[in-house]
Structure 1
Amino acid sequence: MTARFLHRIDVALGRYLPEKRLFLRSDDSTRFVRLSPLTQAAALSGTTALVAWTMVASSILLIDQVGSGNLRDQARREQALYDSRLNAIAAERDRRAQDVREAQDRFNLALDEVSKMQSALLASEERRRELETGMAVIQKTLRRTLAERDAAQGHSQELAAQLAGETAPAEGPRPADVQQTLAFLTGALDQTAEERDRIAADAASAYDMVRTISYERELDAERNDQIFTSLEEALTVSMAPLDKMFKAAGLNTKSIINRVRQGYSGVGGPLTPLSVSTKGAAADLTPDEIRARAIMGRLDEINMYRIAAEKLPFAQPVKAGYRLTSPFGVREHPTLGGQRMHEGTDMASAYGTPIYATADGVVVKAQWVSGYGRMVEIRHEFGIVTRYGHMSKIRVEAGQRVSRGDRIGDMGSSGRSTGTHLHYEVRVDGKPVNPMTYIKAARNVF
């Protein structure tokens, strides 16, 4: 059955592929090979399949090479764009830091001016009180002198009336005594008049001085108002970026400031007498003193922000140039495979690159930890912990207190790692959070 079927196929193919014979001659004989239509069709089909397979394989190989070239070009373009963006961000950060330093210098200069103006104001106030006291003494002396003059004039009139005979004393005075009394009274009246004129001149001079001092006080008050206004504006400008930084990091500024204030709340001093004003208050404050106290309160709040910022991981752990090789979040594990949570940020740089503490704190671990390799763990305030893994060298010890910017180790590839990098973690109350949240929040402040 099979032979018959093959024969029919051979006959059908013979119309298009007639039977051929391939002769092989030698010196003593001639041989031939018979190529039936079916054999020719099989050979032709095999050749066609081989050519088609070669073309398809070549096309796939060519497409793969073209696609790989495009991906490499795209990766290079993205790398160049990323580098330019990093350079722009670094320049912006430096410019913002310079603006903050200039604002701080202006603030310190204004604070010195306020101190000088306050001292001058206190001195002018002391001079005013001295002048008021002198004027009161002069007025009291003038009133007493006028009363003595009026009494002397009345006594003189009585004596003149006695001399004219208007009164009839029991015993008339002697003319010599009367003349001597009149001469004494006349001299006393002249001296009193001179004293009155001198006192009046002193009073006029004192009034002129008081008006001058009052004018100077008005000028001082106006200058103080300008200085206070500049200080208030500078404080507002200085506090806005700090408040924005804490909010960008997802922190409650009021809670943070209250906790810092509780930790820095020591007061004391010797016991002094209690000072009470006529109104029953501890002291009567002028408007300038009220504004100065408000500014001091704002300055204290800025200081609280500064202390809190030093205790929170806003700084960069790597100050040299680095590449962000793996962000925070779910990723394909580089050594174990599978989708796993990456609880930190990987920053790759040269072997031995210095690694710095990102906030003030206490070192709780400085040892080899499985997976992390050589790892340093620092406990900060507000329940925050930072971890620095895969170091080549550890430069701190457990229990050591460190400050923001202190060098704690060198970058390496210890532990479960595929290359030199730093694995940086931030944990809040034991839960991992994205470290870039804090770094980006402080980008325009530090």
Structure 2
Amino acid sequence: MLTRLAIRINATLERYFPEQRLFLKSDHGTHFLRLRPATQAVAVTVGALGLAWTIVATALIMMQTIGAGSSREQAQRQGEMFEHRLTLMSADRDDRAAEALRAQDRFNFALEQVSSMQEMLLASEDRRRELETGIDVVQNTLRRTIKERDEARAEVDRLTLALNQEAGGATEMGRMRDIVATLEYLTGTLARTARERDAKEDDAEASRALLIAAENDRRALELRHDAIFARLEEAVTVSVEPLEKMFQAAGMDPDDLISTVRKGYSGQGGPLTPISASSMGGALTPEEIRANAILKSMEEMDLYRIAAFKAPFALPVTSNAVRWTSSFGRRNDPLGAGSRMHEGTDIAGPYGTPIYATADGVVIHAGWQSGYGRLIKIQHAFGVETRYAHLSQIRVEVGQKVSRGDRIGDMGNSGRSTGTHLHYEVRIGGTAVNPMNFIKAARNVF
């Protein structure tokens, strides 16, 4: 039955694949190899399948190659975009720093003007007091002169009455001579007194004019002081408000920061010492109260500057050849352990990329820790701690003091990691917070 089936199949395929004979000639004779239609059909089918498989495999390889090229181009575009953003952030930081320097220069210049204006105001106040004292002296002298004139007139009247009532001893001629001499003396005294009175009145009028001029100068000086104070207050406000917003955006209370920094930097002295009341026990003037408020704002600005360097307002990686791969928050575990909390942010880059401290602090851990691999922990002020994990090399020791920008290690792939990157954490009071809050807040100032 199988033979008949084979014969039918060969007969059917005979139209498409005629029987072929392959002759092989050798020294011992001639032989031939017969290729039946079924054998030819099987060979053609196998060849077609092989060709189809080759075409499909080639197409798959080409698709994978094209896909890999697209992924590389996309990664390159993302890298270029990240480099562009970093360039913009750096330029913005430089502009902010330059603006802060210019504001500081304007503030120093305005402070010098305030000092000069205050000296001029004190000198004007001294001249005003001297003029007031001179006017009082002139008025007292004028009163005393008028009183002496009245007393002289009363004495003339008394002498005249006494001469008229005098009797005996003196002759009429003697009485007349005495009267004439007395009148001449009194007339000279009255004329001299009148001249002195006129001179005192002229001096008093000149003193009044000087007093009016001094009062006008004082008012003009007050207006200039008011304009300078307004510029100073504006400059201080422009400098302090961005710092307050930066700390608030990072989730830190500015009042607590100022209080903490002031405890560690409580010394006073120099030109920023607050203005105190005078030794005469008088109250502070409005200008002095206003100046004290500006000095207080300047002190707060300086304390904010100190706090900014003690808090992690900087990037741990400055290289342009990096990219942000994972942010803070819940995510699917890259090693397939389900959904879990990611307490930092990941920055991928070349192996050995330098890692820098983001603020001043003290190293409290520098070694291997399960999951983190090679890990560095730095304790900063205000209860802030930063962590740098998966390092390839650690360049600091426990107890070492570091400053912002100091190189502390190199990027690696140690610990529980799927590739070369830095795991960067910020903790406040032991609780992990989003590091991007600090990085984004610092863009408005640095």
- TM-score category of the 2 structures, normalised to the smaller one: 0.7 to 0.9
**More displaced 10-residue stretch of structure 1: 383-392 or 96-105:** 383-392
Q: Quick check: 1:331–1:342 contact (8 Å CA) kept in 2?
A: no
Q: For 1:140 and 1:172, locate their aligned partners in 2 and report how far apart those are by CA, in whole Å.
A: 44
Q: How far apart, in 1, do the equivalents of 2:48 and 2:352 lie?
A: 58
Query: Taking structure 1 as the reference length, what is the TM-score of the superposition?
Result: 0.82
Describe how 1:418-429 pairs up with structure 2 within 5 A: 423-429=423-429
Q: 1:17 to 1:373 in 2, by over 3 A?
A: closer
Deviation of 1:104 (Å): 0.8
TM alignment of 1:268-287, pairs within 5 A: 283-287=282-286
Deviations 1:377-422 (A, max 9, x none): 2222332112244263534541x555545x3634364843788865
**Paired amino acid for 2:40:** Q
Task: Write the mapping of 1:222-301 to structure 2, written as runs, cut at 5 A.
Answer: 222-261=223-262, 283-301=282-300
Supply the distance in 1 between the matched residues of 2:392 and 2:167 (Cα, whole angstroms): 125
Letter in 2 for 1:284: A
SS where residue 385 of structure 1 aligns?
Answer: strand
Give the 3 Å change call, closer, same or farther, for CA 214–315 of structure 1 in structure 2. Answer: same
Q: Which residue does the alignment assign to 1:181?
A: 182
CA distance in structure 2 between the partners assigned to 1:352 and 1:170 by the alignment: 130
Per the TM alignment, residue 43 of structure 1 is displaced from its structure 2 partner at its CA by: 1.8
2:197 corresponds in structure 1 to 196
Query: What code does the residue aligned with 1:306 have?
Result: R
**CA deviation after TM superposition for structure 1 residue 38, in Å:** 2.7
Structure 1 pair 349–101 and aligned structure 2 pair: CA distance change class (3 A): farther
| Compared CA separation, residues 66 and 356, structure 1 to 2 (3 A) | closer
In the TM superposition, what is the alpha-carbon distance from 1:250 to its structure 2 partner? 2.9
Q: Which residue of 2 aligns with 1:271?
A: none
Over 3 Å counting, the alpha-carbon distance change for 1:156 and 1:440 in structure 2 is same
| 1:110 shift after superposition | 0.6
State whether residues 83 and 321 of structure 2, in contact with CA within 8 Å, keep that contact through their aligned partners in structure 1: no
Task: Give the aligned partner of residue 392 of structure 1.
Answer: 393
* C-alpha distance in 2 between matches for 1:414 and 1:170: 137
* Pairing 1:360–2:368 present: no
Gaps of 5+ in 1: 269-273
How many angstroms apart in 1 are the aligned matches of 2:82 and 2:169? 124
SS in 2 for 1:142: helix
Aligned to 2:442: 442
Whole-Å separation in 1 of the counterparts to 2:167 and 2:312: 109
Query: Aligned partners of 1:172 and 1:117: how far apart in 2?
Result: 78
When the two structures are superposed, what TM-score results if normalisation uses the length of structure 2?
Answer: 0.82
Q: Distance in 2 between matches of 1:172 and 1:403?
A: 114
2:76 aligns to what?
76
Give the distance between the partners of 1:210 and 1:254, measured in 2 at CA: 48
Q: Equivalents in 2 of 1:266, 1:333: separation in Å? A: 51
Asked if 1:304 corresponds to 2:310, the answer is no
Structure 1 residues 149, 311: CA separation in 2 closer, same or farther (over 3 Å shift)?
same
In structure 2, how many angstroms separate the alpha carbons of the residues matched to 1:146 and 1:55?
133
Is the 1:393–1:412 Cα contact (8 Å) retained in structure 2? no
5+ residue gaps in structure 2?
270-276
Partner of 2:133: 133
- Count matched residues: 430
Distance 2:429 2:370 in 1: 22
Structure 1 match to 2:145: 145
2: CA distance, partners of 1:391 / 1:114: 56
CA contact (8 A) 1:396 1:409 kept: no
Q: Give a deviation string over 1:141-163, Cα, whole Å, max 9, x none.
A: 21122122122223323434555
Opposite residue 289 of structure 2, the aligned amino acid is I
